[in-house]
A and B are shown apart, each in its own frame.
Chain A
Amino acid sequence: MPLVAVLLALVAVAFFVLPLVGLIAHAPWGHAWDDLTSPTARDAIRLSVICSLWSTALSIIFGVPLAYVLARARFPGRSLVRALAVLPMVLPPVVGGVALLYAFSVNNGVIGGWLHDTFGIQFTFSTAGAVLAETFVAMPFLVITVEAGLRTMDRRYEDAAASLGASRWTVFRRVTLPLIAPSLLAGAALAWARALGEFGATITFAGNIQGRTQTMPLAVYLLLETQQGTAIVLSLLLLAVSIIVLVLLRDRWFGGLRER
């Protein structure tokens, strides 16, 4: 291995580690527990868990079929659909939030008024809105990961199952899904991590209401100016949870990915 590569890699590692060290150094360890159990922090943690899990679930329910269609179906404009599906990855989240407003706002939205008048559903300034905003930015991660898995899998297993008389649904359920399980898990983990850290789209679209839409990143931003200690402790919690999950998923559950 060339020495230059090692040195540059060390710089990269330091670049990721130094901000963490900064946070840890500034954390108020003496009253960290009290900070974490303060009402604002507790509400934010609860909301973050609920919203990120909901948005991961929605990403799977709608994202897997979308990935399947993108990987298997041939239709004109497929690359355009794929571009649209991953657009939220490059769009600034605040812009995403504004775009969601113009779609789902009761007053200005394309379908928001209709949803409200017909079904009594209002996404803006509601927990459902926070879930929607998180799903908007998180689902693309699942879609592209699962689509890649579908494209690299060996399709002969599906053909074999079909030739033995399995219906399309049975093939998908019993052959395709188990084969892409590692990609699905990886995509779900990425989507979940992205949803957990979502800030811009949520604050723009769902607002910043304690106990309703104020997830951990929003609480961190708000508390930085009033209770810096609590903000840092919450940030560290976000970091710790994300690191633990990402490391576990990569090393233990995704062993299959690396061998391929």
Chain B
Amino acid sequence: MWSSKFRDPIRHLEREYFVQKQLRWVGTLAVVAALFGVGTAVPAAADRASGPRPTTRTTKLSGSITVSAAASLQEVFTQMGKDFQAENKGTTITFNFAASSTLAEQIQGGAPADVFASADGANMQKVVTTGQVTVKPVDFTANLLTIVVKKGNPSNVTSLADLPKLGTISLCAPAVPCGKYATQMFTQDGITVPSSKVTLGQDVKSTLEAVSTGDADAGIVYVTDAKSAGGSVTQVKIPASLNVLAVYPIAPIATSKNAALANAWVQYVLSPAGKKTLLKFGFLPVPGT
């Protein structure tokens, strides 16, 4: 069972997704249980956090925090921020959206962040290694890659194999998670695109813009970015068997001056309400949860 999950994470994920759908009432039950204080929904995130932890919502949250989040989370986190602030009057959630690699560097450099949500484990691991995150990060959502092409698909792109034939391909820079995942996918599927045809975006949004606004013929971005882009680009789906799964971890930053609010935000993202918003924006549940 474990080995099959390991070998084919996408298929596993899809199965999990349907199981999750069917078992939604179990989730509802868990919420009810949590409300009655039977257990906390997300113990892992706050387990070893040094700051005070809101075990019950009787301690009123206040103040403000800065959430450094992967660029691909821009739309969904903005929505969740609105929802969270509506529920918790007097709190302010400010976002800093950029490539996870840029964010990790900023956090290592002492940028004032209270929560870090990365699009890959590697950049989260960087700040764990340098000590800015002292709790175990929790995987909170997942994403898949997709091809985006000009509106209406004028070059008739049908699969990854068509990419080397096009003019300019827009990818994320190699240090940026979406670039790393794209490289991994190309290697795995035996696709070679010469670097003289590749324009590198600083984050997934600029990679997408090279196709939507600029003249790049195709780009590799997350499914969720293609969805948020609406009709400005056309999406060419990559089958699950050829795709790469991006898993997003989240963790509070140890030096946060408002650990209570930072932990509350992490818990909100992991809560059923947070998961529901993530699904609405096209994100996937983490396999095995």
> Who on chain B is nearest to A213 by CB?
B199
Assembled-state Cα–Cα distance A224/B105 (Å): 9
Instruction: Decide if B200 touches A107 in the complex (CB within 8 Å).
Output: no
A48 within 8 A of B: no
A242 within 8 A of B: no
Instruction: Decide if A226 touches B215 in the complex (CB within 8 Å).
Output: no
Instruction: Decide if B198 touches A209 in the complex (CB within 8 Å).
Output: yes
> Which of B99, B150, B168 lies in contact with A207, CB distance below 8 A?
B168
Instruction: Decide if B196 touches A211 in the complex (CB within 8 Å).
Output: yes
- Count the B residues whose beta carbon is within 8 Å of the partner chain — how many? 26
Q: Assuming the A-B contacts A208-B200, A221-B202, A226-B175, are A125 and B168 also in contact, with contact meaning beta carbons closer than 8 angstroms in the complex?
A: yes
Assembled-state Cα–Cα distance A226/B175 (Å): 6
Chain B residues with CB below 8 A from A37, complex form: none
Q: Assuming the A-B contacts A105-B214, A107-B150, A124-B215, are A209 and B174 also in contact, with contact meaning beta carbons closer than 8 angstroms in the complex?
A: no
A98 within 8 A of B: yes
A203 within 8 A of B: yes
Assembled-state Cα–Cα distance A204/B150 (Å): 17
A101 within 8 A of B: yes
Assembled-state Cα–Cα distance A222/B176 (Å): 10
B residues adjacent to A (C-beta < 8 A): 99, 101-102, 105, 150, 167-168, 170, 173-176, 195-202, 206, 210, 213-216
- Nearest CB in chain A: distance from B274 CB, A: 29
Q: Assuming the A-B contacts A209-B198, A213-B199, A226-B175, are A122 and B105 also in contact, with contact meaning beta carbons closer than 8 angstroms in the complex?
A: no
Chain B residues with CB below 8 A from A208, complex form: 173, 199-202
Known: A125-B215, A224-B105. 11 other contacts (CB 8 A): A98-B213, A106-B215, A107-B150, A122-B215, A124-B215, A203-B202, A204-B214, A207-B168, A208-B202, A213-B199, A225-B101
Chain A residues with CB below 8 A from B213, complex form: 98, 101, 105, 108
A residues adjacent to B (C-beta < 8 A): 98, 101, 105-108, 112, 122, 124-125, 203-205, 207-214, 221-222, 224-226
- Nearest CB in chain B: distance from A230 CB, A: 13
Assembled-state Cα–Cα distance A168/B102 (Å): 57
Instruction: Decide if A209 touches B215 in the complex (CB within 8 Å).
Output: no
Assembled-state Cα–Cα distance A107/B216 (Å): 10
Assembled-state Cα–Cα distance A98/B214 (Å): 9
Instruction: Decide if A207 touches B199 in the complex (CB within 8 Å).
Output: yes
Chain B residues with CB below 8 A from A101, complex form: 213-214
